[in-house]
Each structure stands twice: as C-alpha cells, then as structure tokens.
Structure 1
Amino acid sequence: MHSHHSHSGDYISHANGTLESMVATARSMGFTHYCLTEHMPRLSDEYLYPEEIEKEYNVTNLKTDFQKFLRHGREIQARINNEVGNDDFQILVGFEVEGIDSAHIRAAKSIMNDADMCVGSVHYVHGIPIDFNRDLWLEARAKCKENTTRCLYKDYFDLQYEVLTELRPQVVGHFDLIRLFEEDEIDPTTGMQSVDISVERDWPEVWSAITRNIEFVVSYGGLFELNSAAVRKGWPSPYPRLDLALAIKNLGGKFCLSDDAHTTEQVGLNYRKVLDYTQSELQLSHIYHLQLENGKAVVVSDSVSDLSKLDFWKQ
C-alpha cells in the first residue's frame, strides 16, 4: 500500500502529530511506500492562514520550518530505507507545491533538486484560498472577470496548467480541488442549476482546459492522485470526481493513491472507499506508485486485483 501525499504537525500548523508518528503509523498499517510532502513555504505574509497568524508566524518561520522538514525527512529516510532486513517499507521525501502565482512556481522549481518528488497543487486562485472555507471560495470567485463559478474553474485550471508545464510534478494533487466548496445554485451563464451542469457539455472552454491539462500530464508520465481526503470532507468519492476521473482514464492517465493525512488517524483513512471507486466506478486494472531506484523516483505498476487482496484491508 502507498500514499503520495502527507503532512505532520511538526511542520504544518493545520496538522497534528509528529512526522515520526506519521511514519510509524504508516509502517504499522502495512504501507510499503509513504511520501512525506510538507507544503513549500509561501513567499509573502499575505498568504498566511489564520492558524499561522495566531502563532505570530511570518514567511521566515515558514522557510525555517520547511528546511527543518527536509533535514528531518532525509534523516528518517536514511534510517528506514537503509535498515538491515527492511525490504518492505520505503520513505520518499518530497513537498507539496503552492501554485499561487508565477513567483511561487519558480520557487518550487528551485526546491525540486532537494526532493525525490513533488505534489503539484493549486490552493489559491487570484491569491485567495479556495479550499479553506466557502466565504473565501466566494471571494476568489468574485475576483474572476465574470464572477461566475464557470470563470473560477477556468482560472483554476489555467493556473494549474502553469504548475504542470513549469514543474512537471510527479504527482498531480487533488486535481479538482476547486469543486470543494461549490454549492448548488443557478449558473448565470447557462440558467441551469449547477448540480445539473455537465462541464463537458455546458462549459466547453473549461472542459478544454481540463483535457489540455490531462493530456500534458500524460505526455510526461505524471500520476494523478486518487486523494481520499475528499471523503472525510463530505464527498462520496476521492478527488477527482467521476467525470474528471473518467476523462483521465480515457485520455491514458495513470492514478496513484494518497491519503493526504494531517493526523495519524487519517493515515489510510477511507482507502476502502477509494478501492471501491477504482473497481466499481473507474474499473481500473492497475494503480501506480512511486518508488526509489538508484536514488530516483520511478513509476511502478500494481494490479488492482492484487492490491485488493492485501492484509491491509483486514484492519
């Protein structure tokens, strides 16, 4: 079993649990590959989250914590991956991109040589968080040219494309995170209830941006995570939802697994629902994971049938 996306309370203010405890939990549960991916530091205090402001943090603190994480992650990796007799648990040290703007994307590029892999994510649109709460999501939408969800989607996927083309991340993080705080309402561009909208049929320019992004990731061999965090946030499925997940499948994309854990209790949480999604909804024959070979992260294929038979599912 594997996860390509995780956080700890040692280095992220909105997480709990130590980095050591996250790793120990993953190992005890039977994970074979676990990626440590704390957020890269943001570049301006204007992007601080409330819990960071409460701690009187600034960007210097974020940078210091991130450097500590890289050192600590490498220490854990060296200890575990080189452990005598250990041939069934591997740590990869990576980071999660903050694709806020071009400056952050350039900063991410400068970090990549210090990591085994990265998760290419977008959490802000027009400089405003889109996964923190509904009010901020609406504020981001209001800054779009047309103040519509349709326009917000387009801007999100265009920014994501910049992350993808500049960084070529090994893992694409929560591909449709922009949907997290969408609610059912009348779409002024079509007059339809948003719940009835087919992005492919009704928002063709958004669909074109989505398929462009997918095709680019496929072209360089990146993986799309099936991120189980969406389930604990109220979705019936992981990110991405079925329409986009099927588009990824149909365009030749490859999926990997991520728990996006922020506490030890979230390690592997809702993986059973992700497995069901891969089998009943997506009907995938294979899932992929990253592993280190000669110091380089390479993509390895796993049979979904074989994964479904692991002892992991007995816990």
Structure 2
Amino acid sequence: MHSHHSHSGDYVEHASGTLEQMVATAKEKGFVQYCLTEHMPRLQDKYLYPEEIDKGMTIDSLNERFEKYLKHAKEIQERENAGNTIKIIIGLEVEGIDEAHIKMVERYRPHVNMCVGSVHFVKGIPIDFDEQNWRKAREACGGSTRELYKEYYELQYKVLKMLKPEVVGHFDLIRLFRVNDLDETTGKMLSDVNIQNEWPDVWQLIERNVKFAISYGALFELNSAALRKGWDSPYPKSDICLLIKNLAGKFCLSDDSHKYEQIGLNYHKAWEYLKSTIKSDFVYHLDLDIQRKIVVQESDVNVLSKSPFWDQYKIL
C-alpha cells in the first residue's frame, strides 16, 4: 500500500509523534511506499499558527527546522530503501499562500523527490484551521462563498502552473469548514448548491485546474483525512472525483497523517469510495526508479483489493 502525504511532530507543531515512529508504523501496517511531506516554511510572521507562536517559533526557526527535516529524511531514506520492506520518498507540502511562497519551493526542489501542491490560505487567512478563520477568509472575498471558492481555485492554479506538483493535495479543502447559510447568488442553502450547474464560474476554474494537472501527469490524492474530520468521503468529494475520472485523471491514496495512529486510518473507506463511487479500475502511486527519479506506477484495483493489507480492517 502507498501514501503520498504525511507529517510528524518532529517538524510540525500541529502534529505529534516522531518521524521515526511514522516510518516504523507505516512498515508495521504493510505500506510498501510512504512519502514524507512536511510543510515547507513560511515567509512572514503573520502566517505563523497559534501553536507555533505559543512555542516561540519564528520564521528563522521554521527554516532551521525544515533543513533538519531534509537531512533526517535523507538519512531515513538511505537506511530504509537499502532493504526491501518499504520505499521512502522525500517530499514537501507546498504552502500556496501567494506567489512568493510558491517560488520559494524551487529552493527545495533539488533536495526532495516530489511535492504535494496544496493551498491552505486565501487572502492570507487560513481556511482549514477553524470555522472562524474560514469566515474571515470569506469576508475578505466580499462575504461571498462563491467568490471565496473562486479565489481558492485561482490560487491553486498558480501552484499547479508554477510548480507542476507531482500530487495535487486535498483538491477541495476549501469545503472543509463551509457553513450552511444562504447563498445569495442562487437563493439556496450552500449545502444544496450544485457547483457544476449553479456556480458555472467556479466549476470552470475547477475543470481548468483538473485539465492542467492531467496535462503534465499529476496524481490526484484521495485524502482519507477528510473522513476523520467528519466527511463521509475523502477529499475530493464525488462531483470533482467524477470529473477527474471522466477526464482520464489518475488517483493515488494519501492518509495525510499527523500522528502515527492516523497512518492508514480509514483507508478501507477510501478504498471502497474508489471502487464503488468513482468506479476506477486503476490506482496509481509514485515510485523511485534505479536512478532515483520519480516515476508513476499503476495498480489494478481488483488485484490490490485482494492484498493482505486489508486484513487489518476486518476487525473494525
């Protein structure tokens, strides 16, 4: 099994446990590939999270910690990949806050194998931290959820265009803290809005982003973290997943774990979603070839469904 997105308490304040624990647990659970993708540093103090401020973190200390991560990850990769149990891939998660942050990724590209292209801020305000900040971001977009979504997908497009990340991270993260109030543009409650039919301007941006990511060979992660956060599916929801499938996009799996107990969490539900809702015949994962270059591998869903990996979920 594979995962393309993870964090540890060694290098992220809102995670817990050590990077070594993460790798050991991935091996115990039967992962044959695991991507280490700590958050890249941020450029200004105003983008520090409360838990980072509480710990006295600064922009300089974020940079220092990330450099330590790159060194540690390299040591783990050299050690683990010498065996035949698990393949460790070194990556980072993009902070697509603005163009300056996106450009900053190029500094680290020579030191990683891959990156996860993500957007966590709109108008400089975090959109996946809590509902209060999500509302602040919406206010910064004129108080319109529709405009907030448009800003999010425009920023996502910049990440895709400028970096061509190997994995598109939690494509519709903007929906995580969406409140259910009235959409003035349709007269409907937000939960009843069909984006494709009723927000065609938003859907156009989504479709553009999907098509561009497909054009350069990106994988779209089915991110099981959404399930532990109260969703009934991984990111992205089925409307976007079916668009990706219909455009011949490729899906990969991610647990987006922030502690070792979350490794592989709800993977059986994500797998059922892939089989029954998306009805995909294949799933994909990143690998390293003999020259340590990133390549994409294809697996038959029916064959992988018979893997002993799934036995650990039968007791749930």
Is the structural similarity TM-score above 0.5? yes
Matches of 1:108 and 1:212, distance apart in 2:
23
2:129 is equivalent to residue 132 of structure 1: yes
The Cα of 1:15 is off from its aligned counterpart by 0.4
Equivalent in 266, 269, 273 of residue 270 of structure 1: 266
Q: Which residue of 2 aligns with 1:166?
A: 162
Q: Which residue of 2 aligns with 1:10?
A: 10
Deviations 1:167-213 (A, max 9, x none): 00000000000000012211011111111111010111100000000
2:50 is equivalent to residue 50 of structure 1: yes
Question: How do residues 141-220 of structure 1 correspond to structure 2 at under 5 angstroms?
Answer: 141-144=138-141, 146-220=142-216
Matches of 1:105 and 1:196, distance apart in 2:
34
Matches of 2:163 and 2:248, distance apart in 1:
20
Q: What secondary structure sits across from 2:39 in the alignment?
A: coil
Matches of 2:306 and 2:42, distance apart in 1:
41
Question: How do residues 249-264 of structure 1 correspond to structure 2 at under 5 angstroms?
Answer: 249-264=245-260
State the TM-score, normalized to the length of structure 2: 0.97
Q: Which residue of 2 aligns with 1:305?
A: 302
2:33 partner amino acid: H
CA RMSD for the aligned pairs?
0.7
The Cα of 1:110 is off from its aligned counterpart by 2.1
Matches of 1:148 and 1:15, distance apart in 2:
32
Q: Which runs of 5+ in 1 are unaligned?
A: none
Q: Which residue of 2 aligns with 1:289?
A: 285
The Cα of 1:92 is off from its aligned counterpart by 0.2
Matches of 2:288 and 2:148, distance apart in 1:
37
Q: What secondary structure sits across from 1:72 in the alignment?
A: helix
The Cα of 1:113 is off from its aligned counterpart by 1.4
Q: What secondary structure sits across from 2:22 in the alignment?
A: helix
Matches of 2:121 and 2:106, distance apart in 1:
18
Runs of 4+ in 1 over 3 A off after TM superposition: none
Deviations 1:111-157 (A, max 9, x none): 1111000000000000000000000000001011x321000000000
Q: What secondary structure sits across from 1:235 in the alignment?
A: coil
Q: Which residue of 1 aligns with 2:243?
A: 247
Equivalent in 111, 114, 134 of residue 117 of structure 1: 114
Deviations 1:83-124 (A, max 9, x none): 3xx2x4100000000000000000012211110000000000
Matches of 1:257 and 1:97, distance apart in 2:
18
Q: Which residue of 2 aligns with 1:65?
A: 65
Question: How do residues 27-106 of structure 1 correspond to structure 2 at under 5 angstroms?
Answer: 27-83=27-83, 86=84, 88-106=85-103
Q: Which runs of 5+ in 2 are unaligned?
A: none
Deviations 1:249-278 (A, max 9, x none): 111110000000001100000000001101
Q: What secondary structure sits across from 1:37 in the alignment?
A: strand
Q: Which residue of 2 aligns with 1:231?
A: 227
Matches of 2:15 and 2:128, distance apart in 1:
15
1:76 partner amino acid: I
